[in-house]
Amino acid sequence: MKYIFVTGGVVSSLGKGLAAAALGTLLERRGLKVLMQKFDPYLNVDPGTMSPFQHGEVYVLDDGAETDLDLGHYERFTSGRLSQLNNLTSGQVYENVIKKERKGEYLGATVQVIPHVTDEIKQRIYDVTGQTDADIIITEIGGTTGDIEGLPFLEALRQFKDEVGHENVAFMHATLIPYIKAAEELKTKPTQQSVAKLREIGIAPDVIVCRAEHPIDNEIKRKLSMFCNIKPEAVVPFVDIQGTIYEAPLKLHDQKLDSIICERLGLATNEPELIEWRNMVDRIVNPTHTVKIGVVGKYIDLQDAYKSIYESLTHAGAANDAKVDIIRIDSGDIEAEGTEKYLKDVSAILIPGGFGDRGIEGKITAAKWARENNIPYFGICLGMQIATIEFARHACGLEHAHSTEFDPTTPHPVICLLEEQKEVTNMGASMRLGTWETKLTENSRAAELYGDTTINERHRHRYEFNQNYRSQLEDAGLHLVGTSPDGTLGELVEIPGHPFFIAVQFHPEFQSKPTAAHPLFRGFVAAALENRY
């Protein structure tokens, strides 16, 4: 097994996850089997309980693990399907160590960061190694070198490298080379210092990926090579991308990142097969059409809160030879100023998942606008619950219909707590999570789009469609055409006759790939194009 550890320097949010994922793409397309994972030094056991303001989207895996959004990049950039073993946090590490201590497993020893915490971290790498048939494991370490929380992870990696042999482990350090406008100069000092920090711990990077707003010339490479003790060609520029993030593997390949890594690890492979990837990038960057799609949510100002939704729309755009112009609309603004102002220019409306009652009424009005004006509507998780509430209120005359999440005393709880949730008191990892099968009604629009009546999609919710209202809603035109195999849980509703009105309890956005757009997103964007003004 070969290992690549990806660390970050200077600042966060510099595209370390993207660089790691892009390296995954390149190695996979060289014919290697790649497994990607993330170590996060924060103390939460998983990001499931964190606010999107803190952390962006929570990405859900097949097995129900609630993980860092970088795992979304990994699954979109490589073909691997990840599991809960692939996102380790300090919270999990300490939880395990403390459990062992309580059981007496440390036989009276003083339990310490070194060796007990570092052993626990290394053990996870060995466990993953034992369970995968991959040739290479790429592990990204969250945070920035120099953070106090990150130290035990780096120390564990230093020890690990010695245990499995230097020739099997490569370190890639992603840093920022800031540009000082007044001096018109790129500055290498922060990178020098962050590499010095790593070397203090005993880790010498093999490759430095340098994020910069301006091209990096040979002089800068030479300087970094000298101060950081690496070959000049191992200073890999990663200059801001204009078109799409999916260009990242191509840009890094141009800089020979993959061959440097393969050479360092003694991996003999062919050049990567990138034709399919290049074609996909070309479709994203040079589309024939453009279409405006409104995403109505409450974390609209945050770049990362609906990451997978935005990516899925891009994939579906490429599949339809169109650029999707995503118009982010705050449902609170709709509440304050009405639908017309915000929705009149969009060709379709998507309402993503969410929790808590802020902005709910704005979303309900947006769904009403879409239904009444024949605007394509795609509801995801909360977006399905919203569509159901709206329909109950305005098409079935069920006044004050609501979800018990937002109004526990509503006379018409068309969305109610899942039976299995009634006893739940713990907030962490306790929703209905992960991949579950759904049966679709034959001849439904959804079945037509999927080309199948059995589908598997990922979930993350506590509330459900209340089937006591099913016949009333269906008689008025909102059909439940997808349920759990035993029929008890509502999974997908649609309105026959509407140009596109599909709403799902699950999260299709976690399975869309740039080279294989999700069928529902593809159908939605196609409908939006039909509806273009």
DSSP state of 467: G
135-to-70, 81, 84, 262 alpha-carbon distances in Å: 21, 15, 20, 12
Nearer to ligand GLN, 286 or 468 (CB): 468
Nearer to ligand GLN, 2 or 458 (CB): 458
* Residue 458 found at the interface with ligand GLN (CB under 6 A): no
Rounded to the nearest whole angstrom, what is the least distance from the CB of residue 216 to ligand GLN in the complex?
41
Nearer to ligand GLN, 143 or 353 (CB): 353
Rounded to the nearest whole angstrom, what is the least distance from the CB of residue 213 to ligand GLN in the complex?
36
Is residue 381 part of the annotated active site? The answer reads: yes
Q: Residue 301: what are its φ and ψ, rounded to 5°?
A: -75, -15
State the Cα–Cα distance between residues 305 and 296, nearest whole angstrom. Answer: 12
Tokens standing for residue 292 = 């405006």
Distance of CA 243 to the CA centre of its chain: 20
State the Cα–Cα distance between residues 370 and 376, nearest whole angstrom. Answer: 6
Rounded to the nearest whole angstrom, what is the least distance from the CB of residue 343 to ligand GLN in the complex?
21
**Residues 494/446, Cβ–Cβ less than 8 Å:** yes
Rounded to the nearest whole angstrom, what is the least distance from the CB of residue 417 to ligand GLN in the complex?
8
| The binder of ligand GLN chosen from 36, 257, 300, 382 (CB under 6 A) | 382
**Residues 172/209, Cβ–Cβ less than 8 Å:** yes
| The binder of ligand GLN chosen from 462, 484, 499, 531 (CB under 6 A) | 462
Residue 21's nearest CA partner among 256, 248, 191 is 248
Rounded to the nearest whole angstrom, what is the least distance from the CB of residue 358 to ligand GLN in the complex?
12
| The binder of ligand GLN chosen from 463, 501, 506, 521 (CB under 6 A) | 463
Residue ranges in 50-79 that form contacts with ligand GLN under rule CB under 6 A: none
Nearer to ligand GLN, 35 or 296 (CB): 296
Residues binding ligand GLN: number (CB under 6 A): 10
Nearer to ligand GLN, 461 or 518 (CB): 461
Catalytic residue among 173, 461, 507, 518: 507
Segment contacting ligand GLN by CB under 6 A, of 202-210, 337-345, 393-401, 460-468: 460-468
Distance of CA 403 to the CA centre of its chain: 27
* Residue 94 found at the interface with ligand GLN (CB under 6 A): no
**Residues 351/363, Cβ–Cβ less than 8 Å:** yes
Distance in Å from the first CA to the final CA of the chain: 55
Tell me how crowded residue 173 is: count the other CB atoms within 10 A of its CB.
Answer: 26
DSSP state of 272: P
Rounded to the nearest whole angstrom, what is the least distance from the CB of residue 355 to ligand GLN in the complex?
4
Tokens standing for residue 134 = 């991959």
Nearer to ligand GLN, 38 or 460 (CB): 460
| The binder of ligand GLN chosen from 412, 461, 518, 522 (CB under 6 A) | 461
Nearer to ligand GLN, 354 or 376 (CB): 354
**Residues 325/533, Cβ–Cβ less than 8 Å:** no
Distance of CA 182 to the CA centre of its chain: 37
Residue ranges in 498-517 that form contacts with ligand GLN under rule CB under 6 A: none
Segment contacting ligand GLN by CB under 6 A, of 160-168, 289-297, 459-467, 484-492: 459-467
238: three-class secondary structure by DSSP = strand
**Residues 385/415, Cβ–Cβ less than 8 Å:** yes
Tokens standing for residue 113 = 């960061």
* Residue 378 found at the interface with ligand GLN (CB under 6 A): no
Tokens standing for residue 209 = 């990926």
| The binder of ligand GLN chosen from 298, 368, 402, 460 (CB under 6 A) | 460
Residue 6's nearest CA partner among 64, 73, 58 is 73
Catalytic residue among 262, 381, 396, 416: 381
- Nearest-CB residue to ligand GLN? 353
State the Cα–Cα distance between residues 525 and 530, nearest whole angstrom. Answer: 9
**Residues 63/434, Cβ–Cβ less than 8 Å:** yes
| The binder of ligand GLN chosen from 128, 156, 157, 381 (CB under 6 A) | 381
Cα–Cα–Cα angle for 151, 248, 308, nearest 5°? Answer: 80
Burial 233-246 (b: 16+ CB within 10 A, else e): ebbbbbeeeeebbb
Instruction: Fill in the per-residue mask, 332 to 371: x = in contact with ligand GLN (CB under 6 A), - = not in contact.
Output: ---------------------xxx----------------
Nearer to ligand GLN, 253 or 307 (CB): 307
Is residue 200 part of the annotated active site? The answer reads: no
At which residue do the structure tokens 């999974």 appear? 491
Catalytic residue among 75, 120, 494, 509: 509
Instruction: Fill in the per-residue mask, 407 to 446: x = in contact with ligand GLN (CB under 6 A), - = not in contact.
Output: ----------------------------------------
**Residues 502/378, Cβ–Cβ less than 8 Å:** yes
Nearer to ligand GLN, 33 or 462 (CB): 462
Rounded to the nearest whole angstrom, what is the least distance from the CB of residue 310 to ligand GLN in the complex?
16
DSSP state of 144: -
By annotation, the residues acting in catalysis are: 381, 507, 509
Residue ranges in contact with ligand GLN by CB under 6 A: 353-355, 381-382, 405, 460-463
